Structures are given as structure tokens and as C-alpha cells.
Amino acid sequence: MAAPGAALRPLSRTVLIASPAPSTRALSVTPRRLRQSLLNRQHPSLTSASRPSLAPRTQIRHSSYHSPEPSPNTPNARKKVTMHTLRNLYKKGEPIAMITAHDFPSSRAADESGMDMVLVGDSLGMVAMGLENTTEVIMEEMLLHCRSVARGAKHAFIIGDLPMGSYEISPEQAVASSLRFIKEGHVHGVKIEGGEELGPTIKRITQAGIPVVGHIGLTPQRQNALGGFRVQGKTCTSATQLLLDALALQEAGAFMLVCEAMPPEVAALITSKLKVPTIGIGAGNGCSGQVLVQVDMTGNFPPGRFIPKFVKKYADVWSEATRGMIQYREEVKSRAFPSPEYTYPISKEELARFEKTVDEMYQK
């Protein structure tokens, strides 16, 4: 199949026709010859110089390849979420709703659902790219997905996840990577995983004018050092360190913190000691908001796949999608699809003229 919008080059084909002579002769049928034959039939009295041109005309293309943007004047269109919006939600005590997205359709769905924030998380490496873990995701892949998400989410505040290897070497490296996320990925801020050791790095990023979301608790990029995907803060020492991490990141300039996989009581206490909002994922409802991976919470995965304890399945996209595709395959095999209502009509008169033209072409 040709790529959307690709120009189709004229193709000629050779047809063997019967001839009174003992041998057969080849007739080359080209688009030019077809046009000429049609003109001869429609305008027999005109010379070649005076016949009307059959140059292609500009037409409106009705195609599923185009994804039109919603009109800014759409009724009930909500205002764009900004840092000011998020601060007001936090001050009012209204929970902040965040969800992940990894491409245009998933970000449109998140935006249309009224999400305050959309996170382009490096979890996309596992749920969208089929990688074993998030440590394999590279910068260019994150930027590609960020751009796709930015095209779909026109109202939500978008955060991009700095991948492993893009910020650990030095604060300068982190600033350079963050600037690429803003300029090339078109996100509004970045998220960075780690504790108080990242204070200087976050400070430099925020000094560059880039909003930063910190991430403490279970930090998947450091799963090897943590001994796997383990709950954090289950001892007094561990919980105290999480509080120290949170305070250090807040002091460095992070405007928000993700708290992952920790007892709800620990997350609630940390939240109460901060002056910035916390977003929980497996950390209870005492945080200032929540985030889930969209693929997980919509049930867009095959049966039997492991999902974390904190994931609530709100839909069953996988079953519905496979049901539809199975029905489609069956209708293709039986030629039930496409039925007439899914095709484009031509008048009987024009069809008859076309058939006659073709017959004449191949009888010459």
C-alpha cells in the first residue's frame, strides 16, 4: 500500500490480444492512452490542441490518515492547565489527576477525559515498545513519544520523563537533556528519579526555567540497586530517608513530587510536611493527586500479564479490541466487508461509459 499522500507514478502494462495474424501483438495501455480515448469519445470534433485538459483537480480528501484537531471554539472547551492552575488545585485541596500517555491517540483520550496532567513516562518502554524494563529507553525514543503526546494533549500540563543516562553524569548534562525535552519534545516540564543526591541537579534545571517533578520511593530506573521492584519506606529508617529526600528536592526547586510504592501512612505524612503537591502511585489516597499507567488502568494488555497491586482496572480495552479485530478478519475472509455502505458510488451511466471505453481500448 502506498504511504498516505505519496504520489503514484503512471504505470504501463502490456495486454496480449487476439489478432487475425498467426502471431500475437502487444498493446501498451497507459494512463495517457486511456485519457486520449476518453477525450476522443467525448469531444470527437476537437483537435488535440483544443480539447479540455484532464489535469488533476484539487479535491477534499476524506481519509482516516488525517487526525483533525478540535476547534478552539468547541463548546465547553476547558482552559489550558498551567503551573498556576496546579498551584490553585493544591491550595484548594482538590486532588490532581495525572495519567500517562505515549502517543497521539492515548494523549487525546487523556485530554478529552479532563486529566490535569499527562506524563510521558519511560514506562512506555515496557507498555508500548515491548522492552524488559525502563532502563533500556533512550533519549531519542522519549523525544519521539513526547512530540506525539504534545500533538494530542492541548489542555493538560505535559511532563516528560528523563530517561536513565540523560541526567546522572552532571547537572550540565541534565540541563541539556531537559532543554531538549522542552524544545524538541514540546513538553512543559520534566520528571527526574532520585533522592537528595539530585538536589544540585534539580536546582540547575529549575534555574534554566524548566519546571521539575521529583520522583521518590520506588524509582524503576534504579531497580537493580533497589533489589527489584520493591516497596520502599517500610521501616523507620527507610521512611525517614524518603522524607529527607522529599524535603531536599522541594528545597532544590521541584514543584511536585511523585511518591511511588510506599505505605499510605508514610506518603500521607510526607505530604503533610511539604509545601508542594505529591502525586501518588501505589502510595494511598493521602497524596495531593494520583497517577496510573494508562495501558494498565484501561486494561489494554493480554490476559495473564502481571500488573502491580496498586493498579485498578477501569476498562477492558484489550478484549474489546481483539473482539472487533476477530470479527473484521472473519468478514474479510467471507467478503462480507466491505458491504455497499462502506464503498463510494458511481452512477450507472458513468460506469457504462467507462466499461465501453475500456472495451474499445482493448479491441483496437
Q: Which residues are the active-site residues?
A: 260
Which residues, 6 or more positions from 336, have their beta carbon under 8 angstroms from its beta carbon?
A: 330
- SS3 assignment, position 291: strand
For the chain, count helices (H), then strands (E).
13, 10
Q: How many CA atoms does the CB half-sphere of 204 hold within 13 Å?
A: 17
Q: What is the DSSP code (8-state) at residue 341?
A: G
254-279 core/surface letters (b: 16 or more CB in 10 A; e: else): bbbbbbbbbbeebbbebbeebebbbb
Looking up cell 476524506 gives 62
Q: β-pairing, 13-17 with 25-29?
A: antiparallel
Looking at this protein, which amino acid is placed at residue 216? I
Distances in whole angstroms, Cα of residue 150 to Cα of each of 73, 101, 161, 188: 20, 10, 14, 9
H-run or E-run covering 97: strand 96-100
H-run or E-run covering 107: helix 104-112
CA-CA-CA-CA torsion sign (86, 89, 93, 94): negative
Are the C-beta atoms of 81 and 156 separated by less than 8 Å? yes
DSSP string, 4-40: TTPPPPP--EEEEE--SSSS-EEEEE-HHHHHHHHHH
